[in-house]
Chains A and B, each alone.
Chain A
Amino acid sequence: MTPRLAAGSESRYRPDESEAQSARRDRRESAIGVEIIPVGLVKRKLAGRMPQELDAAGLTVRELLLQLPIKPELVAFVVVNGRLVRRDHRLSDNDVVKLVPAVGGG
């Protein structure tokens, strides 16, 4: 929904999906063809250690995880474009891949 602001009034709305994505652009790591969003413990382990040249489009999720400098077991959920996928799911160009640990804090 695109809210319209009436003159002199204030509209309070939650950003829609694309706005939320652009707001989080700074938290992303880049891999060629695929955007990777690490979360929580996975993010802490990956910070500054993403391989510079990683052509991820065409890899399975399992293959992608093996290329990253973290233990694959630490990634509990792999969410591609908003859907939970299996480890044998094959990635495509422009996929947004979220790597979520079972533990966020603690």
Chain B
Amino acid sequence: MFGYAGRVLRIDLTRRVTTTEPYDPEIARRFLGGRGFSAYTLYTEVPTGADPLGPDNKVIVSTGPLSGTLVPGAGKTDITTKSPETGGYASASVGGLLCAELKYAGYDAIIVEGISQSPVYLFIDDDLVELRDASHLWGKGSLTVEEQLKTELGEAFQIASVGPAAENLVSYACITHDFGRQAGRGGVGTVLGAKKLKAIAVRGSKSIPIADVETFRTLSRAMFKACMESDAAEVWQKYGTAGVVSWANEIGALPTRNFQSGFFEKCDSLSGEVMRDSIVVSDKACFACPCPCGKYSHTEKHGVFVEGPEYETTALLGANCAIADIEDVAYANYLCDELGLDTISTGNCVAFAIECFEKGIISSADTGGLELSFGDSAAIFKLIGMIAAREGIGELLASGVKHAAEVLGGKAADLAVQVKGMEMSGYESRSAPAMLLSYMTCDVGAHHNRSWAITYDLEVGRDKISADKAAKVIELQHIRPLFDVLGACRLQWVELGLSLEHYAPVLQALTGQDRSWDDLMRISERVWNLTRSYWIRETAGFGRDWDSPPPRTWKEPVATGPTKGSSVSWEDNQRLLDMYYQQRGWDENGIPTPAKLAELELTDIVG
């Protein structure tokens, strides 16, 4: 199959057996690859009711057909599993160079099964696949492990690893790769920790075959040219996503003090320009990307190197915790990277704990004497360590804010900013209903990257509660995840303005398979409905209630700043949901109808 490596690597950690099997062309036809392959595998291979931390759960590491090829941003790997944090579908995307190296080794995907008796790492060197003892790595931080493995094995190896947080089964532990890229959300790292798979090391020398070399070369060069000529390239190259911190604040969307507000009064010291001037040492790209959004930084104050902080981390560990010093945010970022914690969930959990402390829901008796307040960086650093180690109050927070609020009872639930058990990411949305709908309906929980609809709210009017907003969310939920299926990044399209019209032709030149853009969107819609069906299967009573936004969004108006007083009423968020379900062809409870499943050729899988 042109464009694919043609093989899947299956790892049985229980029996310590590794096998390869052909990549099924029928799966490729229906689900294309990347997140599509992973979703299909999750649904069909992981048994109903599997314990996310048990031997029946699987972790699927999946490249897409564009991965590793000369297409701008062809460096995205999807990592899918049953989430230990939400109990539902988890899929996190990591950049860097992992997917490219995996394809060059001759594998389109890795399926990790079972549980190892003792810590191991997966060693892949083209056809040589071994499960090697990782006892000398267990307990060490992700960045340390990467450095150590590159020294032991050679710089040519691409490394992905989990940190102590995953080993300790913190629910939102991440996987780190290339000294600072993460598959962050939903506890994908946690599952590897439970399986005692400490790291993956891969090196490959093979080529990815191209169906029509000349056409591919022409089309891919045109894509690079368009990216490089984009007037937006300069800003994204220079600042990365951190460049929008100030803007988010201006529009009242920067989460502040546990989402009490969307405006941080000290935001100026967190801006992209301040960051560039004070800590950035180099621009760092993912595979084949002409517009490196990665900012590799060094904080003199704390003496560490870190890739970041990017927008989400500055939002959740900066403004949301009221930390105003970019060097402190960088250090908090470093702690999370080394310990292996998702910065978004961590920042959200920390802010939740601080607000609970300030409101007397927890006290210093609960925190072992640690006084928590917004802006107190030293206490926050300590708390991050306690979460990773599940020590003291860290134990309560290690399962996420939804669980912590249930344990604490009372008013705590009103302070938990989450959907489906996943902490909300960096956009305060009480003044942006389409963005709120995005968070309500995102397929993994309260994450923004399936449908970043906030600019649509700005364009058509924030206050509108209208069918076109639901339509926009649905459209974005098909386009953005399509990039995860293709194995490439969306930044070239969203931020640089690269036309979507490039993608179907270049994919065809690569694979030799004739697919229109509509065909690709149909595949994306299929994947969306399949993962919705996964939630339904795994979660008793799953339906409309699970798409509820956090209570803060309808019970409490924004406290300060340009959007002070805004909220989206319960009636309005339900109206949006109604319009969304109707347009999606789902019933009023948010369940895909048999007709919709049949239309998407999912009946044989979902039933």
Q: Do chains A and B touch in the complex (CB under 8 A)?
A: yes
A40 near B273 with CB under 8 A, answer no
Question: Smallest Cβ distance from B292 to chain A, in angstroms?
Answer: 16
Is B579 interfacial (CB-CB < 8 Å)? no
Question: In the complex, are the beta carbons of A106 and B494 less than 8 A apart?
Answer: yes
A85 to B458, CA, bound (A): 21
**Contacting pair A84 B235 (CB below 8 A):** yes
Contact indicator per residue, chain A 35-57, by CB within 8 Å of chain B (1) or not (0):
00101110100000000000000
Closest residue of chain A to B251 (Cβ to Cβ) is A73
Most buried by A among B234, B247, B493, B500: B247
The contact string, 1 if C-beta is below 8 Å from chain A, for chain B 437-479, is 0000000000000001011001100000000000000001001
On chain A, the residues within 8 Å of B476 by CB distance are 106
1/0 contact trace for A81-106 toward B, CB 8 Å? 01111110000000000101111111
Instruction: Assess whether B235 is in contact with A98, with CB atoms less than 8 Å apart.
Output: yes
Residues of B within 8 A of A73 (CB): 250-251, 458
| Docked complex Cα distance between A18 and B173 (Å) | 47
Question: Given A39-B232, A77-B235, A102 and B271 touching (CB < 8 A)?
Answer: no
Among A75, A98, A101, max chain B CB count under 10 A is at A101
Distance in Å from the Cβ of A106 to the closest Cβ of chain B?
5
Please, which residues of chain B bring their CB within 8 A of the CB of A79? 234-235
Which residue from B244, B273, B498 sits with its C-beta under 8 Å from A76? B244
Out of B247, B273, B459, which one reaches A83, CB within 8 Å? Answer: B273
Q: Do the beta carbons of A104 and B243 come within 8 Å of each other?
A: no
In the complex formed, the residue of A with least CB distance to B246 is A86
Instruction: Name the B residues within 8 Å of A85 (CB-CB).
Output: 273
Pairwise interchain contact A84-B238, C-beta atoms closer than 8 A: yes
Provided the pairs A27-B231, A73-B251 are in contact, do residues A105 and B500 lie with their beta carbons within 8 angstroms? yes
| Among B235, B268, B271, B493, contact of A105 (Cβ-Cβ < 8 Å) | B493
In the complex, A74 has a CB within 8 A of chain B: yes
CA distance A70 to B232 in the complex (A): 18
A105 touching B499 by the CB < 8 A rule? yes
A60 CB → nearest B CB, Å: 13
Taking a contact as CB atoms under 8 Å apart, the answer to whether B497 and A104 are in contact is yes
What is the bound-complex CA distance between A18 and B510, given in angstroms? 37
Q: How far is the CA of A105 from the CA of B503 in the complex (A)?
A: 14
Which bracket fits the contact residues of B? 20 to 34
A24 at the interface (CB under 8 A from B): yes
Q: Which residue from A83, A86, A87, A104 sits with its C-beta under 8 Å from B494? A: A104
Contacting residue for A87 out of B239, B250, B479, CB 8 A: B250
How long is the Cα–Cα vector from A74 to B70 in the complex, in angstroms? 32
Selected contact of B455 from candidates A37, A41, A100, CB within 8 Å: A41
Minimum distance in angstroms from A1 CB to a CB of chain B: 17
Task: Report the bound CA distance from A43 to B232 in whole Å.
Answer: 11
- Chain B residue contacts of A39, Cβ below 8 A: 230-232, 497
Contact A105–B497 (Cβ < 8 Å): yes
Q: Is the CB of A103 within 8 A of B244?
A: no
B204 CB → nearest A CB, Å = 30
- State which of B247, B452, B497, B500 has its C-beta within 8 Å of the C-beta of A40: B497
* A104-B230, A105-B500 as given contacts; A74 in contact with B459, CB under 8 Å: yes
Min C-beta distance of A25 to chain B, whole Å = 13
Task: Check if B496 is an interface residue, CB within 8 A of chain A.
Answer: yes
Q: What chain A residues lie within 8 Å of B232 (beta carbons)?
A: 39-40, 100, 104
- What residue of chain A has the Cβ atom nearest to residue B230's Cβ? A104
Judge whether A74 and B496 touch: CB under 8 Å: no
B495 beta carbon closer than 8 Å to chain A: yes
Chain A residues whose C-beta falls within 8 Å of the C-beta of B246 in the assembled complex = 84, 86-87
Q: Which A62-76 residues sit within 8 Å CB-CB of chain B?
A: 71, 73-76
Are A86's CB and B268's CB within 8 A? yes
What mask results when residues 485 to 516 of chain B are scored 1 for a CB within 8 Å of chain A, else 0? 00000000111111110000000000000000
**Within the assembled complex, what's the spacing in Å between the Cα atoms of A87 and B500?**
32
Would you call B247 and A102 a contact (CB within 8 A)? yes
- Would A101 and B455 count as touching, CB distance under 8 A? yes
Contact between B268 and A104, CB atoms less than 8 A apart: no
Interface string of B231-258 (1 = CB under 8 A from A): 1101100110001101100110000000
Interface centre among B230, B455, B497 (most CB of A within 10 A): B497
Q: Report A-chain residues with C-beta under 8 Å of the C-beta of B272.
A: 84
In the complex with contacts A84-B238, A100-B231, A103-B455, A77-B494 CB distance below 8 A: no
Q: Could you say which residues of chain B place their CB within 8 Å of the CB of A104?
A: 230, 232, 493-498
- The reply to whether A71 and B231 form a contact with Cβ atoms under 8 Å apart is no
Instruction: Please state if B455 and A84 are interface contacts (CB–CB under 8 Å).
Output: no
A87 CB, min distance to chain B CBs, angstroms? 7
Give CA–CA (A20, B96) in the complex, Å: 29
Task: Name the B residues within 8 Å of A103 (CB-CB).
Answer: 452, 455, 494-495
A24 to B452 alpha-carbon distance, docked (Å): 30
- State the Cβ distance, A35 to closest chain B Cβ, in Å: 12
B243 contact set on A, CB distance < 8 A: 76-77, 84
Q: Are B479's CB and A24's CB within 8 A?
A: no
Contact with A along B268-298 (1 / 0, CB 8 A): 1001110010000000000000000000000
A102 interface neighbour in B244, B479, B493, B500, Cβ under 8 Å: B244
Contact, CB under 8 Å: B244 / A77: yes
Question: Can you list 26 pairs linking A and B with CB atoms under 8 Å apart?
Answer: A39-B231, A41-B455, A41-B459, A71-B458, A71-B459, A73-B250, A74-B459, A75-B247, A76-B247, A77-B235, A77-B243, A77-B247, A84-B243, A84-B273, A86-B268, A86-B271, A100-B232, A103-B494, A104-B232, A104-B495, A104-B497, A105-B493, A105-B494, A105-B498, A106-B493, A106-B500
Question: Which residue numbers of B lie inside 8 Å of A, CB to CB?
Answer: 230-232, 234-235, 238-239, 243-244, 246-247, 250-251, 268, 271-273, 276, 452, 454-455, 458-459, 476, 479, 493-500
Given A86-B271, A102-B455, output 20 extra A-B contacts at Cβ < 8 Å: A37-B231, A41-B459, A74-B455, A77-B247, A82-B234, A84-B238, A84-B239, A84-B273, A98-B231, A98-B234, A98-B235, A103-B452, A103-B494, A103-B495, A104-B232, A105-B493, A105-B496, A106-B479, A106-B493, A106-B500
Pairs of residues from A and B, 10 with the lowest C-beta to C-beta distance, nearest first: A104-B497, A76-B247, A39-B231, A84-B273, A105-B497, A103-B455, A77-B235, A40-B497, A73-B458, A104-B232
